Amino acid sequence: MVSKDILPNREKEPDTLSEELLAWFAANSRKLPWRIGYIPYQVWISEIMLQQTQVKTMLAYYDRWMVRFPDIASIAQAPEDDVLRLWEGLGYYARARNIQKAARIMVSDLGGKVPRDFDVLRSLPGIGRYTAGAIMSIAFNADYPAADANAGRIFARLGDIAHPSGSKEFCDSVDRMAWQLLPRGRSRDFNQALMDLGSLVCLAKEPLCVQCPISGRCEALYKGFTGLRPVKAGKKAVIQIARAAVVMVRKGKVLIRRRPGTGLMAHLWELPGGDVPSGMSPQKGVGRLWEDELGIRLGPLESLGVIKHSHTAFRVELHAFLCNDPNPLPRAVKNAQQLQWVAIAELEKPAFPSAHRRIIRAFLERLRCASQADSPVAIPKAKKPLPVSTQDFSNA
């Protein structure tokens, strides 16, 4: 056995892949708010917000979340409507409700703290295998892998994994590499190094291999296969759907409806409407929907415009209408729907799906300008999340 003292230079130079990554991270890491002090609560919230969401998209949400909910107790005590309103526009709204469920468990059963235990974390709502590992490593620097899509892509190229991403074989290979490369005691930086490298250098499209600190060990690059790794699973066909919704105005208030507590956009509010029955015009279709679901016969409709918006599985054209009805009288409402008349000035308070928020913006704009086009206008996307103010619109 050769004494370390005889080989001082090898001690100073990174000589493993993990050390190359750690050195790269030390020089190139992104400055992100939850990386200041690594407060477990902040790391947890950041990880939930980042699920299927890019840093650039969530950053503004994260900042205002920490102003409104600076700690676990504040989120545990908050009304669910407040939580959803702060999440409006981020998507996957079960994440927000699961944060609150988990916060309440932390307060009641876990001493009001983020648990420092993988299995306990894993048992909390919204925390799966990845997120539990991410919190253990990033918040507590404990030795757990956190192999997200970035790490998966890096490992798939590094080891030239030919299995399709999402397959069990792929996940097993990634998991094995993650455990194998994890430098004990440095898991916080290592896991984040993989994420930053994946989002800054080892990009899904056109990776910047010349900037990569481990390109010399990348099997896919050596074979010229970086564009083929990871192998993507088959994609599904996108379906076109026509929907319609109505801004019903009566005595300065607008009728909104709360969505059910399960399924798509649970517990968000919406402008009543829905899928346009096939073969009908949007205008006629939404009249049918209102009559069937609300027992309201709509008066003359004015177009507010058309919204094009897409989900993973389908592309939607949402037709928005305005109805100034002096006296609509709801008959029997089906399915015990939760309906509410909200003052126009309070429309910013409930949480709406993005597309419906765009309709409300167009409606308020119409009130300001009173302009009307001949044909439906395209309603644009908002650039930033709508600022939040006081909640509680229920008694307005």
Partner DNA sequence: AACTCGTGGCA
Partner DNA sequence: TTGCCAAGAGT
C-alpha 217, offset from chain centre: 34
Task: Indicate the residue among 32 and 120 with the shorter CB distance to DNA.
Answer: 32
CB 90 within 8 A of CB 61: yes
- Which residue in 20, 47, 88, 346 is the catalytic one? 47
First to last CA, the chain: 80
Q: How many residues bind DNA (CB under 7 A)?
A: 59
* 339 near DNA (CB under 7 A): no
* 57 near DNA (CB under 7 A): yes
Choose the stretch contacting DNA; rule: CB under 7 A; options: 190-198, 293-301, 326-334, 359-367.
Answer: 190-198
Considering only 82, 160, 196, 348, the residue that binds DNA (CB under 7 A) is: 196
Sign of the Cα torsion 167, 169, 171, 174 reads negative
CB 17 within 8 A of CB 154: no
Choose the stretch contacting DNA; rule: CB under 7 A; options: 145-153, 207-215, 319-327, 361-369.
Answer: 145-153
Q: Interface mask (CB under 7 A) for DNA, residues 264-303, using x and -? A: xxx-------------------------------------
Task: Indicate the residue among 257 and 298 with the shorter CB distance to DNA.
Answer: 257
206: left (phi over 0), alpha (psi -120 to 50) or beta: left
Question: Residue 101: exposed, middle, or buried by beta-carbon count in 10 A (0-12, 13-18, 19+)?
Answer: middle
* 173 near DNA (CB under 7 A): no
With H, G, I as helix, E, B as strand and everything else as coil, classify residue 145: coil
Whether 47 is catalytic is yes
* 66 near DNA (CB under 7 A): no
CB 17 within 8 A of CB 181: yes
For residue 230, which of 193, 204, 196 has the smallest C-alpha distance? 204
State the amino acid at position 386 in one-letter form. L
* 353 near DNA (CB under 7 A): yes
Q: For residue 326, how many other CB atoms are within 10 A of its CB?
A: 8
Considering only 134, 158, 212, 379, the residue that binds DNA (CB under 7 A) is: 134
* 258 near DNA (CB under 7 A): no
Return residues touching DNA (CB under 7 A): 32, 46-47, 50-57, 89-94, 98, 125-132, 134, 148-150, 153, 168, 192, 195-196, 198-199, 204-205, 232, 235, 238, 263-266, 308-313, 315, 353-355, 381-383
Catalytic residues: 47
